[in-house]
């Protein structure tokens, strides 16, 4: 029995079989396809009893809901099963009864993207592709690079030549063939598609690959399991292209359809003010995205045109969601408040969701008795440079006790 | 019943009660104390049946063997339970049947030090200390900083003013009070001790704190559990001060004394050629360490005089261990070979152990049928700058298919 019913265009709604490799042929790259599952199989396998009694700590436990035919040899790296923390010190600070932090920085390459790359790599192997590729300068690239290395799968990463040395180094350490494109990110992206068409490689990019979202949805499955099948009232996420929030929403919906939960959360999309196309379109009830050159410190969610915009809009519409914009200053402040109350150090895009929560609290838009889940999508170690902007350097003191005493007095410690 | 029998000096062997807060009063800071447990309690609690049936995934599962009286409120962050990978692609490459990688970069602040800091923070709370402090520029500092933040415990970190901005930023994001000392690391260290003596703060430093090693030993407990109570033939670790290797050895010994395993591994100490005081002393059968200014890219294990040197020497003597020195070039090469075959990206000090394995293999000093465990102590994201030295930058190409075709031909892909 085939798990997948069909692939459905997120823009026009037309359905296709799996022979349609990437986007909708009518809508073009704007029409990313969504996998619609036949849940008969999952209903039998993924019962609450099964889940409670089988604790294999990775995303493969959800195999009946993953768009893979067979897994001959799982990626041996532990993917997913990131911890969910009840943040009691934050709860006191914000006067909310239940705040949970899903720390996606604990994934193998320290971001939520690992869930998507895992599917991408296995899909390439399933399709007998010898090469997988992507255009990215960020978390998607390093995660693809790491998993492909782990499986011995050749991979090409297209990056603009302006990529920071540190990010480039990671890809090279993992042994990726890096194509250093003499052009900007968009040129690297288009060049990657051109190369894929020519060489027949497999393209791992949430932008056009229909399957990766189904890796990301596992974050929702885990939240539900970790909350013992209770559903948070609000799930707050940082949003760029819209892939992650639509992934999580798909996860909640599928668990709902399986009867594992009896309600759905409200999805809250938090975007940087300087890069908020999804939120603008949602507020204006638009079905088109207008391009504004993105400008935000949160590089992982800095986008002009969101490449999974329709899926994100559908998510907000279906969940009666909320759209919150925050400034870069809000984001930097959120980074320190979160770290100081939970010990979770997130990258700017990772803590943007928390800046959104702080704004909701300020507006009185969260009731005390609500349960809130925040998905911190990436580790602060990914971008330590931005962290330097969130703090100020203390003054230098001589190694003498007297000086220390007066210094501590000065800083009121 | 008290779990702790006494504290024993690792240099002279004299024993003390717990009122002796730090080092041996006779041997001074050279005589770090080791906690000797009364195993009666652990023997009853930590049976194989208990461990197999209780899967709480963190270090607190070993409470009967942790030097804490009581834990009112556990640090809510998940510490330990890092994955152990069977590295099949490495096994093929090196022609060894069983190679396991313990990926300590998956800890909350991405290093093995988290296990020690967890004990330090709880010990401070147990002793009703309001302030915990440390002198460190590295992993110990960031891990203390994160956990203290999580528990709302005030903390002071003494660092030389030359600390890299990125490392400083992490501490400040977590809200540590950073004492930026106008002096070098040794001056910051001594100044920290002086301040502790004056103010009565709690000192978290493996160098003089007897309890932290008992956090680190949990890495050995986990390896044994993850191997289903089989014991590796060799456990290979990167060594600096000697705290981690003596911690792991203590763990293996305690599980042996509890009857949970029936043999002990050979411990292999791998040091950088430019910072090898433990290995030198072991080879020369010395009981004193001669100072040579350390020089290695692996900053986390760069030491002149090892502060847990006697514990490390005892480990090598007791386990009939091996001491291997590797060059910085070996370390950088090990970083790429490991990453490309396992997907695990370690910092230089994290992969030094693997450079040691490569050397052992070259020397024919590992049998094919041996089981080898490598403990990769920290994530490569901690020090991306060093990674840039392990790789070379590819050439830039124009976004044109023809150019790509000839480029791929050139690099023989």
The mean pLDDT value for A110-127 works out to 96
The answer to whether the CB atoms of B387 and A170 lie below 8 A apart is: yes
Q: Of all helices (H) and strands (E), which one includes residue B225?
A: helix B218-226
Asked if residue A155 and residue A50 are part of one domain, the reply reads no
Q: What is the pLDDT of residue A165?
A: 80
The domain boundary residue, chosen from A174, A200, A226: A200
Cα–Cα distances in Å, from B347 out to B47, B243, B320, B381, B382?
36, 18, 28, 7, 6
Asked if residue A312 and residue A253 are part of one domain, the reply reads yes
Q: What is the pLDDT of residue B80?
A: 96
Asked if residue A80 and residue A144 are part of one domain, the reply reads no
Q: Which of residues 69-98 of A touch B (CB under 8 A)?
A: 75-78, 83, 85-89
* Chain A contact present for B392, CB below 8 A: yes
Q: What angle do CA B6, B7, B12 make, to 5 degrees?
A: 125
* Chain A contact present for B391, CB below 8 A: yes
Length of chain A in residues, anyone?
A: 413
Place of tokens 């297209």: A158
Asked if residue A145 and residue A17 are part of one domain, the reply reads no
Cα–Cα distances in Å, from A169 out to A129, A148, B169, B339?
26, 16, 22, 12
The mean pLDDT value for A169-184 works out to 93
The mean pLDDT value for A224-243 works out to 97
Q: What is the pLDDT of residue A204?
A: 93
Q: What is the pLDDT of residue A413?
A: 54
* Chain A contact present for B211, CB below 8 A: no
Asked if residue A134 and residue A58 are part of one domain, the reply reads no
pLDDT in tens, A83-100: 999 999 999 999 999 999
pLDDT in tens, A27-38: 988 899 999 999
Residue B40 falls inside a structural domain: no
Cα–Cα distances in Å, from A162 out to A303, B50, B369?
17, 55, 47
Asked if residue A158 and residue A263 are part of one domain, the reply reads no
The answer to whether the CB atoms of A170 and B110 lie below 8 A apart is: no
Asked if residue A35 and residue A158 are part of one domain, the reply reads no
Per-residue pLDDT in tens (0 to 9) along chain B, 413 residues? 589 999 999 999 999 999 998 999 999 888 999 999 999 989 999 999 999 998 888 999 999 999 999 888 889 999 999 999 999 999 999 999 999 999 999 999 999 999 999 999 999 999 999 999 999 878 999 999 999 999 999 999 999 888 878 789 889 999 999 999 998 877 888 899 999 999 999 999 877 899 999 999 999 999 999 999 999 999 999 999 999 999 999 999 999 999 999 999 999 999 999 999 999 999 999 888 988 899 999 988 998 889 889 999 999 999 999 999 999 999 999 999 999 999 999 999 999 999 999 999 999 999 999 999 999 999 999 888 889 999 999 999 999 999 999 999 988 75
Q: What is the pLDDT of residue B163?
A: 85
The answer to whether the CB atoms of A173 and B397 lie below 8 A apart is: no
Residue A118 falls inside a structural domain: no
- Residue A273 scores a pLDDT above 70: yes
The mean pLDDT value for A56-74 works out to 92
Q: Measured between alpha carbons, how far is A220 from A244 in angstroms, rounded to an integer?
A: 10
pLDDT in tens, A328-378: 999 999 999 999 999 999 999 999 999 999 999 999 999 999 999 999 999
Q: What is the pLDDT of residue B258?
A: 97
Q: What is the pLDDT of residue A1?
A: 55
Per the structure, the count of domains in chain B is: 1
Residue A374 falls inside a structural domain: yes
Q: What is the pLDDT of residue B42?
A: 94
Q: Measured between alpha carbons, how far is B94 from B88 in angstroms, rounded to an integer?
A: 10
Residue A242 falls inside a structural domain: yes
Q: Which of residues 275-334 of B touch A (CB under 8 A)?
A: none
Find the closest chain A residue to B54 by CA distance: A55
pTM, entire model: 0.96
What is the side-by-side order of every strand in the sheet holding B131-135?
A396-397, B177-181, B154-160, B131-135, B202-203
* Chain B contact present for A164, CB below 8 A: no
Contacts of B388 in chain A (CB under 8 A): 165-166, 168-169
For residue A80, what are the domain limits?
A: 1-111+212-413
Q: Give the CATH number of the domain where residue B300 resides.
A: 3.40.50.1100
The domain boundary residue, chosen from A165, A180, A200: A200
pLDDT in tens, A180-228: 999 887 788 889 999 999 999 999 987 789 999 999 999 999 999 999 9
Q: What is the pLDDT of residue A128?
A: 95
- From A77, A335, A401, residue closest to B198, measured CB to CB: A401
Nearest Cα residue to A78 out of A125, A132, A118: A118
Question: ipTM higher than 0.85?
Answer: yes
Q: Measured between alpha carbons, how far is B201 from B191 in angstroms, rounded to an integer?
A: 13
* Chain A contact present for B173, CB below 8 A: yes
């Amino acid at each position: 029995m085939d798990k997948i019913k069909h692939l459905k265009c997120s823009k026009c709604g037309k359905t296709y079989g799996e022979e349609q490799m990437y986007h909708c042929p009518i809508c073009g790259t704007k029409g990313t396809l969504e996998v619609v599952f036949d849940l008969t199989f999952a209903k039998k396998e993924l019962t609450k009893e099964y889940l409670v009694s089988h604790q294999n700590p990775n995303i493969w436990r959800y195999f009946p809901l993953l768009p893979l035919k067979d897994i001959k040899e799982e990626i041996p790296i532990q993917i997913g099963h990131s911890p969910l923390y009840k943040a009691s010190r934050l709860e006191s600070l914000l006067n909310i009864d239940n705040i949970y932090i899903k720390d996606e920085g604990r994934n193998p390459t320290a971001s939520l993207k690992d869930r998507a790359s895992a599917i991408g790599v296995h899909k390439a192997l399933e399709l007998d592709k010898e090469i997988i590729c992507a255009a990215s300068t960020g978390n998607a690239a390093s995660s693809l690079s790491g998993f492909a290395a782990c499986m011995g799968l050749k991979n090409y990463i297209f990056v603009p030549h302006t990529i920071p040395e540190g990010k480039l180094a990671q890809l090279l350490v993992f042994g990726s063939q890096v194509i250093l494109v003499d052009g900007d990110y968009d040129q690297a992206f288009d060049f990657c598609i051109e190369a894929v068409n020519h060489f027949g490689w497999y393209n791992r990019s949430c932008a056009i690959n229909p399957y990766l979202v189904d890796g990301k949805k596992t974050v929702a499955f885990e939240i539900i399991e970790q909350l013992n099948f209770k559903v948070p009232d609000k799930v707050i996420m940082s949003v760029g292209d819209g892939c992650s929030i639509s992934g999580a929403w798909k996860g909640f919906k599928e668990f709902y359809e399986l009867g594992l939960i009896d309600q759905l959360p409200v999805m809250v999309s938090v975007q940087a003010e300087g890069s908020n196309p999804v939120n603008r379109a949602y507020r204006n009830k638009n079905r088109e995205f207008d391009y504004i050159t993105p400008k935000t410190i949160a590089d992982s969610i800095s986008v002009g045109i969101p490449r999974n915009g329709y899926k994100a809009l559908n998510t907000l519409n279906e969940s009666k969601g909320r759209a919150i914009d925050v400034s870069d200053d809000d984001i930097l402040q959120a980074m320190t408040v979160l770290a100081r109350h939970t010990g979770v150090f997130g990258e700017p895009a990772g803590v943007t969701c928390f800046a959104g929560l702080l704004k909701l609290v300020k507006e009185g838009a969260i009731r005390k008795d609500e349960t809130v889940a925040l998905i911190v999508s990436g580790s602060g170690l990914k971008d330590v440079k931005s962290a330097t902007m969130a703090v100020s350097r203390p003054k230098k003191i001589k190694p003498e006790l007297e000086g220390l005493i007066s210094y501590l007095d000065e800083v009121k410690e």
